[in-house]
Amino acid sequence: MQSANVLLKKIIRNSVLPFAAQHGMKKDLFPLSRTLSLSLCLKQDNSASPSEKLDLDAWKKVMKSGLQEEGSETVSEQKELSTLAAAREILEMWRLAGRSVPENITEEQLKTFMECPSKSAKKKYLKYLHLKELYKKNDKRKMDEKRERRLETQKQASETDETKRNSFMYLWANTMDKAYSWRVAQSMIFGQPLIFDMSYEKDMSVREVANTVRQIVLSEGCNRRSVDPFHVHFCNLKDDSLYHKEFIKHYREAWGKLLITVTDQCYTDIFPKDKLIYLTADSPKVMKTFDHDKIYIVGSMVDKSIKTGVSLARAKRLGLETAALPLEKYLLWNSGAKNLTLDQMMHILLTLKDTGDWKKALEFVPKRKYCGFVSRPVHELKKTLNLINTLKLGKRQEEARRQFAKSYSKKLTQK
């Protein structure tokens, strides 16, 4: 009973009075209801068997007691929070509430967060940071595990100390690099040009530019390692552009030593117009074969929001020929947009250049985007599809499939 009294006092002191004073509420209502509920609670306790004594409000006592002094301090401090610090606090609370919010956030990120125009933009940005943090943590954990494992094997190796002999020479990475560089240097003199058009900066957000540059770095890498590399041109690349900054972030000092041609000129100034072909998924023309005498242009653009016809518009403006990959012709398309990433494009073009085999080249289209290759004529395909369906599925699905195959063949004949 005494404890209950103490609790009651505490409650009144802590909670009700400030509010009652603030809003001038019915002061008597509160304590009354509280005693009522308390006495109810006590009654319950008495009626229950002695072994089952359960103080249901004990948690409140715990929560209020240990933290009282601290609490009073913080309340007085609360007013003098700068906006940034306040934002940081809200983030912390969101994290406690279990939302996807990063644990650590830098001043710069916090500013970006504050500048987000809408609530959903803020949420998205936080989620992005959160995931980034998770990945980083995971990577670090894996690295640590790896190091531990390595140390262990070293220890074991040192115990069973035995020098290994090998008649082969190791081809170290820098040797390989030299060989690759030699090839690329040759391609810069004799190779077929491939152009990345860097004129889409204004159509993209900062993150999209960053993604674009990453894809280009990947494609440059795979070009360097290929048997017969392209002579890569970065056209329309201005010196102080976002692209440029991102490139330097990725390559650091290697940027100056890359075996590619970087220019702020347009490709139409460098090459004859009739040799240029702009590759864009919006093009009405479908590429039939890879032409070794033409110069292909790839637009360096990632569009996360749907912006159709931007690169087609560019080609139209300059009066260039355009082409799209024959994805429909060779693949049973499943889902996803027909625009591919820049490194996938590079893989496909390199394979085409080496072999001219569409099937091999289109292996680089992500598997989730298509169901399978169209290897045989469509009517044969249709037959097998039907056969499979009658064996596997009921008749209804068969009908649906037939419909699909029909419309598919129609599409093909139209092309």
Partner 1 sequence: MALFSQTSQQGFQALLWKCRMFWPVSRCHQLFAVSVSIPDREKVSYFSFVTSSSTAFPVDPKGTDAFPTKKRSEIDYEEEKRWDEETKEIPEGKLHFSSSVGAPKKRLTSQVVSRHKFTYVQPPEKPLRAEEWNRLRESFQSPEIFEEVMFNNMVRYNSPIDVAKSLLTHVAKSNGDIAYNLLLKYLALCVQQGQTSEIRDVYDIMKIRFRILESGAYNLLIKGLSNSDEWRMALTLLEEVKKIMIPSRINYESCIRAASRHQEMNLAFELYHEMLAKDLVPTLDILQAFFDFSRGMKGAELQKELFGILLYLRENQIYPHKTFMRSIKLWFESIPGGNWRGHLTNIKDSGQCPVCNHQLEDSDLTEEEYNNLRERIIRDVIHGTDTFRKTSPQEFEAFQTFVENRLPFDIVIDGLNVSHMKPRRLQCENLFDAVNCLAKDNARLLVLGRKHMLINSSNWKREIMKEMQNKADFFFAENISEDDAFLLYATLRSGQHCKFVTRDFLRDHKACLSDSVTRHLFRKWQRGHQIVFSPSAEGKHINFMPAFSYDCVVQTTGDTWHIPYKDLFEEKYSYRVPRKWLCIQQQR
Interface residues toward partner 1, by CB under 8 A: 11, 14-16, 19, 22-23, 25, 33-34, 37, 52, 54-60, 62-64, 66-68, 71, 74-75, 77-78, 86, 89-90, 93-94, 96-100, 119, 123, 203, 284, 308-310, 312-314, 316-317
Which residue's CB is nearer to partner 1, number 89 or number 399?
Answer: 89
Separation CA 400–CA 392 (nearest Å): 14
Separation CA 381–CA 372 (nearest Å): 11
The CB-of-219 to partner 1 minimum distance in angstroms stands at 26
Which residue's CB is nearer to partner 1, number 53 or number 147?
Answer: 53
Output the DSSP codes for 229-295: --EEEEES--TTSHHHHHHHHHHGGGGGG-SSEE-SS-HHHHS-GGGEEEE-TT-SSB--S--TTSE
Which residue's CB is nearer to partner 1, number 60 or number 250?
Answer: 60
The answer to whether 302 and 258 are in contact (CB under 8 A) is no
Which residue's CB is nearer to partner 1, number 98 or number 256?
Answer: 98
The CB-of-44 to partner 1 minimum distance in angstroms stands at 9
Handedness of CA 170, 175, 176, 179 (dihedral sign): negative
CA-based nearest residue to 341, from 281, 381, 293, 393? 281
Distances (CA, A) of 47 to 3, 12, 44, 56, 166: 19, 27, 5, 14, 86
The CB-of-180 to partner 1 minimum distance in angstroms stands at 39
Burial 359-375 (b: 16+ CB within 10 A, else e): eebbebbeeeebeeebe
Which residue's CB is nearer to partner 1, number 34 or number 294?
Answer: 34
The CB-of-339 to partner 1 minimum distance in angstroms stands at 15
Which residue's CB is nearer to partner 1, number 76 or number 174?
Answer: 76
The CB-of-350 to partner 1 minimum distance in angstroms stands at 29
**Widest pairwise Cα distance in the chain:** 98
Which residue's CB is nearer to partner 1, number 55 or number 328?
Answer: 55
Query: For 290, what's the count of Cα atoms within 13 Å in the CB-facing half-sphere?
Result: 19
Other Cβ atoms within 10 Å of 129 Cβ, number: 22
The CB-of-303 to partner 1 minimum distance in angstroms stands at 12
Which residue's CB is nearer to partner 1, number 60 or number 294?
Answer: 60
Which amino acid, residue 391?
A: L
Separation CA 198–CA 209 (nearest Å): 10
Instruction: Give the residue carrying structure tokens 């990433």.
Output: 341
The CB-of-30 to partner 1 minimum distance in angstroms stands at 8
The CB-of-389 to partner 1 minimum distance in angstroms stands at 25
